[in-house]
Amino acid sequence: MNALSSNKDLQLLNGNHAVAMGVKLANPHFAPLYPITPQTPILEKLIALQSAGELETELLTPESEHSAMASAIAASATGVRVFTATSSQGLLLMHELLHFAAGARTPIVMFNVNRTPASPWGFWPDQIDSLSQRDTGWVQLYSENPQESLDTVIQAFRIAEAAQMPVMVNHDAFYVSHAVEPVEVPAQETVDTFLPAYKAGLHLDPELGRSLGAPIDQKSWNESRQQMAAAMATVGDLTASAGQDWGDLTGRSYGPLEQYRTDGADVVFVTMGSMCGTVREAVDGLRARGIAAGLLKIRLFRPLPQVELRKALADVPCAIVLDRNYSPGVGGVVHQELKAALFDMANAPRLHGLLAGVGGVNVSAEMIERLAVEYRDAVASPDPVWVEE
């Protein structure tokens, strides 16, 4: 059946408007929003929905992303569901408060549009903005396309609220944020079935009188991090069950990782975000030429699903990481993470770390096919390699 003639609510939406539709369905109580390219359409759509009376969310438009996050934390601590969105410089301005939000165990959901940070100024897809926040205690998910962004932002609320940890969902600037695709917008009843009504845990309440975040001794601070570790340890399973339950309701399942044509693969590409779509096309091209290629997509980056990654890459002869980010002095962040994840594994693949698409330069399917041929039998270097079209 032609999808467009089905009774599903298919709408032509760009990635950011798809996020806004997902947020509307999750119905947060509070959303502070500050504009920044290329996140702004999320803000605009939510404000338009509220102005039209289709969104009850209390909106706040402060003077900076820093104040947006500060108000998000305080509202969450007061016991309501909270959403915010940002990109690049805005995310980096929030850095102090990202640590704060995680330490305060506020289950905020934030959408970040991955964009190059200055200097020099640029507005291009690159994931170093969020990857450089990996140690703040936020769960990080990466989305490949507008439909996945809508689906994931709804799942993010369930994961955040179950783990009592903040969740950041990311998609790439323009390739996803501004690309228009047919997106199925689920019915409100579907989302209500999936996402329970918000139930605040311990929160600021004059009846209770309990304060949050006052100075503590060394041992208690240490303990707070052990408690965060325990919460993080639940996120892999929560992500898997949320993705499965969503699949049962909508037909679109998700997990911490996704494997595309990896059966019997000689070479597996490992990457995140919109690059996955291009790799799928390259994999099809390579398979058609008789080269057994596959894709391992990392959807959950924090906490890194190490056990699943080791399982997915066991006995694979060659894995090629495509990093659309660069950590100066080290290389690609995903490459670095994967080297650690596969440490001391007897049947680990030869692991190549390719810096592909840094700063938003184009990475075509043809280029990826060429890289497969070039690297599948090469000796792997621990150092990153810059590759170009």
Partner 1 sequence: MNMEMINYKDDGQFCSGHVACAGCAEALALRVIMNAVGQDAIGVVAPSCSAVILGGHPMSSVKIPFIHGTLESAAASASGVKRALVAQGKPDTTVLCLAGDGGTYDIGLQSLSSAAERNEDILYVCFDNEGYMNTGGQKSSSTPLNATTGSTPTGKSTRKKNLIEILAAHRIPYIATTSPSHLNDMAAKIKKAKTIRGTKVIIVLIPCLPGWGVADNAAVKTARLAVESGVFPLFEVEGGLTYTMTKATKTQPINDYLSLQKRYRHLNDEQIAQIQQDVDEDWQRLTTRAIEADV
| Interface positions with partner 1 (CB under 8 A) | 29-30, 32, 58, 60-64, 66-68, 70-80, 96-97, 100, 104, 204-206, 208-217, 220
- The encoded tokens of residue 69 equal 């996050």
Q: Give, as one character, the DSSP assignment of residue 348.
A: P
67 or 253, CB closer to partner 1? 67
CB of 13 to partner 1, least distance (A): 27
Name which of 58 and 245 has its Cβ closer to partner 1: 58
Kindly state the helix (H) or strand (E) to which residue 169 belongs, with its residue range. strand 167-172
Q: At CA 344, angle to CA 339 and CA 347, rounded to 5? A: 90
Distances from the Cα of 302 to the Cαs of 52, 70, 135, 329, in angstroms? 36, 22, 9, 22
CB 44, min distance to partner 1, A: 19
With respect to partner 1, which residue has the nearer C-beta, 135 or 223?
Answer: 223
Do residues 256 and 324 make contact, with C-beta atoms less than 8 angstroms apart?
no
How near is the Cβ of 95 to partner 1 at its closest, in Å? 11
Burial 217-256 (b: 16+ CB within 10 A, else e): eeeeeeeeeeebeebbeebbebbbebbebbeeebeeebbb
CB of 99 to partner 1, least distance (A): 10
Instruction: State in angstroms the smallest separation of the CB of 67 from partner 1.
Output: 4
Closest approach of Cβ 182 to partner 1, in Å? 34
CB 84 to partner 1: min, Å: 10
Neighbouring C-alpha atoms within 13 Å toward the C-beta of 22: 32
The residues pairing with 168 across neighbouring beta strands, listed in sequence order, are 110, 140
**C-alpha span between 66 and 97 (Å, rounded):** 7
Residue 356 phi/psi, 5° resolution? -120, 120
> Which of 20, 75, 87, 11 minimizes the C-alpha distance to 47?
20
**Per-residue DSSP letter, 14:** E
Closest by Cα among 387, 351, 364, 172 to 285:
364
Structure tokens at 276: 């996955």
Smallest gap from Cβ 93 to partner 1, in A, equals 11
Evaluate the omega torsion of the peptide bond into residue 120 and state whether it is cis, within 30 degrees of 0: yes
Q: Could you check whether the bond before residue 349 is cis, i.e. omega within 30 degrees of 0?
A: no
Judged by beta carbon, residue 63 or residue 315, the one nearer partner 1 is 63
**Cβ-based nearer residue to partner 1, 76 or 149:** 76
* Nearest-angstrom CA–CA distance, 245 and 190: 11
- Closer CB to partner 1, 104 or 131, in the complex: 104
Question: Which residue has 């391992």 as its token pair?
Answer: 296
Match 């980010």 to its residue by tokens.
325
Nearer to partner 1, 6 or 64 (CB): 64
CB nearer to partner 1: pick between 33 and 367:
33
Q: What is the 8-class DSSP label of residue 144?
A: S
Taking the complex as a whole, how short is the minimal distance between the CB of residue 145 and partner 1, in angstroms? 32
